[in-house]
Chain A
Amino acid sequence: MEFLHFAFYFGLVIFLILVISKAIKIATAPVHLRWELYPVAHEKGKAHYGGSYLEEFEWWTKPLKKDLLGELWTMFQEIVLLKGVWEHNRSLWFGSAPFHYALYLYIASTLLIFLGLIFGVTPDNVDFQTSWFPQFLNILLWLASILGIIGAIVLLFKRIFDENLRLYSNPSHYFNILLIGMLYVTSLVWLLNSENAIGEFFGFYKSAFTFSSLPEIPVIGYIHLYLLSFFLFYLPFTHMTHFFMKYFTYHKVRWDDEPNFPNSKIRKRLMEQLNFPVQWSAPHIGADGRKTWVVIATSPLPIKENKNG
């Protein structure tokens, strides 16, 4: 096995293990108390002004209707248009948008390469000089690289020269931008230097997934793929995991408006949680490490009123 293969497998495996385990950890965290924030995108007919089913008199006598299309539309605007940043932080959007679009395009081109490998559209059986598919991939990667470099430069400049950002930035922030920026710089140089860069990308992924020997790749290709492997390994350790955690911040917190009906799943989980033993030390809590949450919350206050207070 080539060392590049090893680095790539290592990065990919760590990425998958950590992303999946983090997602499981947060998905199985206890049901929290309601803390929604309006507008809630699935409120049918009401989401556009931020209304909720609680506006209905005796809402529990009416069916709760969810607007899944509305939810999808809101997600689309957030993911594709970066609407929140556009509305609340326009100057950052001009860095953040190309930065994110570049990632989307890069991921899309990688997925297409996988599809090509699965369906046999590879340099071995298709003429990559004339076929539209590799040309299309070529365009995607060009766009990704250029947008990525622009985004990284804008974001880096903003972090360095805007004091509001600089004061709250840590070494990791600069490192992350530089790392991702370098990923695009190397892909751009690769595209510039090699007539058959797309074919070489194919070759690398094919060899990686068929455990065969590495085809010929230029030095810049090696650098790019090592950086990519490192990025895969490193990403789950950073706040950039927001790319999937955003699902939870929106669906499980901001938009979580589920009532606690008898026999519901929520009710079952809550019954378990109410029986957790509590250790808080303040005297008015009255915990001893054995008494459960619900016992404490339903017992009389274990302190007397301070008449001098």
Chain B
Amino acid sequence: MAEKRKVRISDISNPNIYPLAEVGPNNTIELPPPYDKLENLPGFKKLSESARQAVDDSLDGVVAVGVPKPKTPEEEQELVEKFISGLIKLFSKENNWTFLQPLLLTMEHCAKCQTCAEECPIFEASGYEEIYRPTYRAEVLRRLYFKYVKPGSPLLKKFQVGDIELNWTLISRLIELSYRCTICRRCAQACPIGIDNGLITHELRKLFSQELGIAAKELHEKGTVQQLLVGSSTGMTPEVVKDNVSFIDEDLSERLGIKVESKWDVPNADYLLIHNAGEFLSWPENPAAFAILLDAAGIKWTYSSELVGYDGVNYGVWYDDFQLARVAQKHFEIAKKLGVKGIIMGECGHESKSMGIIAERIFGNEIKTINAMTLVEQIVFSGKIKFDPERNNFPVTLHDPCNIVRLMGIVEPQRRVLRYLAPKFREMEPHGVENYCCGGGSGFAVMTPYNFLDWRMHISGRKKFKQILDAFKDEPPGPEVPKYVCAPCSNCKGQIRDILDYYGAKEKSGIYYGGLVELVVNAMVDLKEPFIDFSMM
């Protein structure tokens, strides 16, 4: 069979190549049995005819954003013009001071050595499809930047970076392509020059959102917009969240035989605790474990029932600087009003990064933020609580959320806790700052439109699934021994839940997942009943 022609950079504007790349289940990353047979796995869902008529799927047959097809040539032209105006703003200091310096450095100095390519789990899992190569989308943007923004002779610019035709097809495909990278920045870590192709994804998404008003629905409409207007990206209003939490408290108090008590709007509390609100709906044991632990440690804490104050989610960090700032500003304002010493950020990677370091640059650090990893370590080793590590006598491995580990350098606190409280703890390989993303990064974990879930499971999540399986390879392979993936991040937990469900790993291999604080509470001597109950997971 003749070898497939590789996609070129300039192909992105050629509407006659349809789709630009064909992507589907493949075995480039081999999984051990019983997951090694592709035919036993669900394939990619075919898009319905009506969906294909309505939205553009010409990038790879997958749809994450769903750019509506234009009805007239004028509409096409309008998109192109808006794109150019956004492109110019992206490179202006007034409009994009937030990332201009790293963006310019990345645009001007890539040596095209491809050292970064091998490090991308998506590129690898796709069977090395060119469109997913870390430099592919960067190259497209680079050519557009040279052509439409950077001054100089057109001939020289073509000689330097090559040419590209800007049309509707390119923009539509680039919008989708900016949602095929998890912004894990593993590629950037490998680049000897310090070029950041993950940043390019981030900046492209911003251009599309801030100028064209186009973003993944789950991040924008259902995400930050809903959060700012209704209170939470989950859609929970203050009344609903309070109701839900009191139900969780009652339920767990009954089951565990100790009082689980969440507190709301407590005056004079020391800390405001903000979880990713998804925890209340999907993993209520996590906030409950926090409540138990903080009370046992004698910490005076409270939740806030103000709009946005009970949801630490900040999807703006992945696609829109202004939405990021608006949400973060609300968090800080609420903490100030409550008069607390600081904010405790729950087990959520992007909450920790957006509030702890990114928004800190915008608004200053008068309101202190405490990340869950260091707080849990502090409590565990404070001597205030008695633990029996034998209660966690099952195999445990740790997933390193990119936002907390590679992008904040919080590596050891969670490990020190696990080495103490989980006797059968083992690392994934590689781990720490060299970890692989769960595949749900940059918002993917909450995105399931059209056939995007299939892509997430087969392409962006496959490497992580292999790592999880490998971490437990010395254990009995079946479900008789429960195995625990500790993922101290709501977003990662969402993705790992989906992977384990998709591949049937709970039934086939007994693999479960949860946060860090659940393991800590499970080891508390004061608890009569085990906190972690595999039969209920």
A binds B: yes
The residues in B between 184 and 225 inclusive whose CB is less than 8 angstroms from any CB of A are 185, 188-196, 199, 209-213, 217, 220-222, 225
The residues in B between 360 and 383 inclusive whose CB is less than 8 angstroms from any CB of A are 360-366, 368, 370-371, 373-375, 377-378
The residues in A between 201 and 254 inclusive whose CB is less than 8 angstroms from any CB of B are 237-242, 245-246, 248-250, 252-254
Q: Is the CB of A296 within 8 A of B411?
A: no
Q: Is the CB of B210 within 8 A of A282?
A: yes
Task: Out of B118, B368, B409, name the residue touching A89 (CB < 8 Å).
Answer: B118
Contact mask for chain A residues 88-114; partner B; CB cutoff 8 A; 1 contact, 0 none: 110010001000000000000000000
Task: Out of B230, B357, B411, name the residue touching A55 (CB < 8 Å).
Answer: B411
User: B34 interface residue, CB < 8 Å from A?
Assistant: no
Q: Is the CB of A282 within 8 A of B360?
A: no
Q: Enumerate chain B residues within 8 angstroms of A51, measured Cβ to Cβ.
A: 409-412
User: B82 interface residue, CB < 8 Å from A?
Assistant: yes
Q: Is the CB of A297 within 8 A of B115?
A: no
Q: Is the CB of B213 within 8 A of A36?
A: no
Task: Out of B8, B101, B357, name the residue touching A26 (CB < 8 Å).
Answer: B101
Q: How far is the CA of A31 from the CA of B189 in the complex (A)?
A: 21
Q: How far is the CA of A103 from the CA of B273 in the complex (A)?
A: 55
Q: Is the CB of A260 within 8 A of B361?
A: yes
B325 to chain A, nearest CB (A): 4
Q: How many residues of A contact B (CB 8 A)?
A: 93
Say which one of B47-55, B154-162, B387-395, B479-487 lies at the interface with A. B154-162
Q: Is the CB of A253 within 8 A of B102?
A: yes
Q: Enumerate chain A residues within 8 angstroms of B94, measured Cβ to Cβ.
A: 276-279, 293
Q: Enumerate chain A residues within 8 angstroms of B329, measured Cβ to Cβ.
A: 297-298
A149 to chain B, nearest CB (A): 20
User: B294 interface residue, CB < 8 Å from A?
Assistant: no
Residue on A with the closest CB to B325? A297
Q: Is the CB of B115 within 8 A of A239?
A: no
Q: Is the CB of A253 within 8 A of B194?
A: yes
Q: Is the CB of B114 within 8 A of A164?
A: yes
B401 to chain A, nearest CB (A): 13
Q: How far is the CA of A59 from the CA of B410 in the complex (A)?
A: 12
User: B228 interface residue, CB < 8 Å from A?
Assistant: yes
| Given A34-B357, A84-B191, 17 additional A-B pairs, CB 8 A | A29-B101, A36-B407, A38-B433, A49-B432, A54-B408, A167-B6, A168-B139, A242-B111, A245-B105, A249-B195, A254-B194, A270-B361, A273-B97, A281-B211, A282-B213, A284-B322, A297-B362
Q: How far is the CA of A257 from the CA of B373 in the complex (A)?
A: 19
Q: Is the CB of B361 within 8 A of A88?
A: no
Q: Enumerate chain B residues within 8 angstroms of A53, measured Cβ to Cβ.
A: 409
Residue on B with the closest CB to A242? B109
A–B pairs, 13, beta carbons within 8 Å: A34-B358, A50-B406, A55-B411, A84-B115, A167-B130, A172-B160, A239-B110, A241-B109, A249-B193, A270-B362, A297-B325, A304-B229, A305-B225
Q: Enumerate chain B residues within 8 angstroms of A16, measured Cβ to Cβ.
A: none
Contact mask for chain A residues 273-309; partner B; CB cutoff 8 A; 1 contact, 0 none: 1101111111111000000010011101101111001
B149 to chain A, nearest CB (A): 14
Q: How far is the CA of A306 from the CA of B224 in the complex (A)?
A: 12
Which residues of A approach B to under 8 Å, CB–CB? 26, 29-40, 43, 46, 49-60, 78, 82-85, 87-89, 92, 96, 163-165, 167-173, 175, 237-242, 245-246, 248-250, 252-254, 257, 259-262, 266-267, 270, 273-274, 276-285, 293, 296-298, 300-301, 303-306, 309
Q: How far is the CA of A92 from the CA of B102 in the complex (A)?
A: 25
Q: Is the CB of A29 within 8 A of B104?
A: yes
Q: How far is the CA of A92 from the CA of B194 in the complex (A)?
A: 17
Q: Enumerate chain A residues within 8 angstroms of B360, measured Cβ to Cβ.
A: 34, 259-260
Q: Is the CB of A303 within 8 A of B225?
A: yes
User: B37 interface residue, CB < 8 Å from A?
Assistant: no
Contact mask for chain B residues 297-310; partner A; CB cutoff 8 A; 1 contact, 0 none: 00000000000000
Q: Enumerate chain A residues within 8 angstroms of B104, measured Cβ to Cβ.
A: 26, 29
Q: Enumerate chain B residues within 8 angstroms of A239, measured Cβ to Cβ.
A: 108-111, 160
Q: Is the CB of B156 within 8 A of A237?
A: yes
Q: Is the CB of B362 within 8 A of A274?
A: yes
Q: How far is the CA of A83 from the CA of B193 in the complex (A)?
A: 11
Q: Enumerate chain A residues within 8 angstroms of B86, measured Cβ to Cβ.
A: 280-281
Given contacts A253-B194, A281-B211, whether A260 and B365 have CB atoms under 8 Å apart is: yes
Residue on A with the closest CB to B364? A260
Q: Is the CB of A78 within 8 A of B192?
A: yes
A132 to chain B, nearest CB (A): 36
Q: How far is the CA of A301 from the CA of B323 in the complex (A)?
A: 9
Q: Which 6 A/B pairs are nearest by Cβ-Cβ distance? A: A52-B409, A249-B194, A50-B433, A84-B192, A297-B325, A30-B97
Q: How far is the CA of A297 from the CA of B113 in the complex (A)?
A: 39
Q: How far is the CA of A54 from the CA of B226 in the complex (A)?
A: 31
Q: Is the CB of A52 within 8 A of B410?
A: yes
B465 to chain A, nearest CB (A): 24
Q: How far is the CA of A30 from the CA of B356 in the complex (A)?
A: 21
Residue on A with the closest CB to B357? A34
Q: Enumerate chain B residues within 8 angstroms of A164, measured Cβ to Cβ.
A: 114, 117
User: B85 interface residue, CB < 8 Å from A?
Assistant: yes
Q: Enumerate chain A residues within 8 angstroms of B160, measured Cβ to Cβ.
A: 170, 172, 237-239
Q: Enumerate chain A residues within 8 angstroms of B117, measured Cβ to Cβ.
A: 164
Q: Enumerate chain B residues within 8 angstroms of A55, measured Cβ to Cβ.
A: 373-374, 409-413
User: B386 interface residue, CB < 8 Å from A?
Assistant: no
Q: How far is the CA of A304 from the CA of B225 in the complex (A)?
A: 8
Question: Most chain-B CB neighbours within 10 Å: which of A46, A56, A254?
Answer: A254
B236 to chain A, nearest CB (A): 14
Q: How far is the CA of A262 from the CA of B364 in the complex (A)?
A: 7
Contact mask for chain B residues 95-125; partner A; CB cutoff 8 A; 1 contact, 0 none: 1011111101100111111111111000000
Given contacts A84-B192, A309-B217, whether A50 and B411 have CB atoms under 8 Å apart is: yes
Q: How far is the CA of A274 from the CA of B213 in the complex (A)?
A: 22
Q: How far is the CA of A241 from the CA of B104 in the complex (A)?
A: 13
User: B248 interface residue, CB < 8 Å from A?
Assistant: no
Q: Is the CB of A297 within 8 A of B326?
A: yes
Q: Is the CB of A301 within 8 A of B97?
A: no
Contact mask for chain B residues 5-44; partner A; CB cutoff 8 A; 1 contact, 0 none: 0101100000000000000000000000000000000000
A179 to chain B, nearest CB (A): 13
B351 to chain A, nearest CB (A): 14
A301 to chain B, nearest CB (A): 5
Residue on B with the closest CB to A164? B114
Q: Is the CB of B326 within 8 A of A301?
A: yes
Residue on A with the closest CB to B98? A33
B222 to chain A, nearest CB (A): 7
Q: Enumerate chain A residues within 8 angstroms of B159, measured Cβ to Cβ.
A: 170-172, 175
Q: Is the CB of A38 within 8 A of B409?
A: yes
Q: Enumerate chain A residues within 8 angstroms of B95, measured Cβ to Cβ.
A: 276, 278-280
Contact mask for chain B residues 303-330; partner A; CB cutoff 8 A; 1 contact, 0 none: 0000000000000000001110110010
Task: Out of A165, A254, A306, name the residue touching B112 (CB < 8 Å).
Answer: A165
Q: How far is the CA of A36 from the CA of B211 in the complex (A)?
A: 26
B322 to chain A, nearest CB (A): 5
Q: How far is the CA of A165 from the CA of B133 in the complex (A)?
A: 12
User: B89 interface residue, CB < 8 Å from A?
Assistant: yes
B165 to chain A, nearest CB (A): 16
Q: How far is the CA of A34 from the CA of B109 in the complex (A)?
A: 20
Q: Is the CB of A85 within 8 A of B410?
A: no
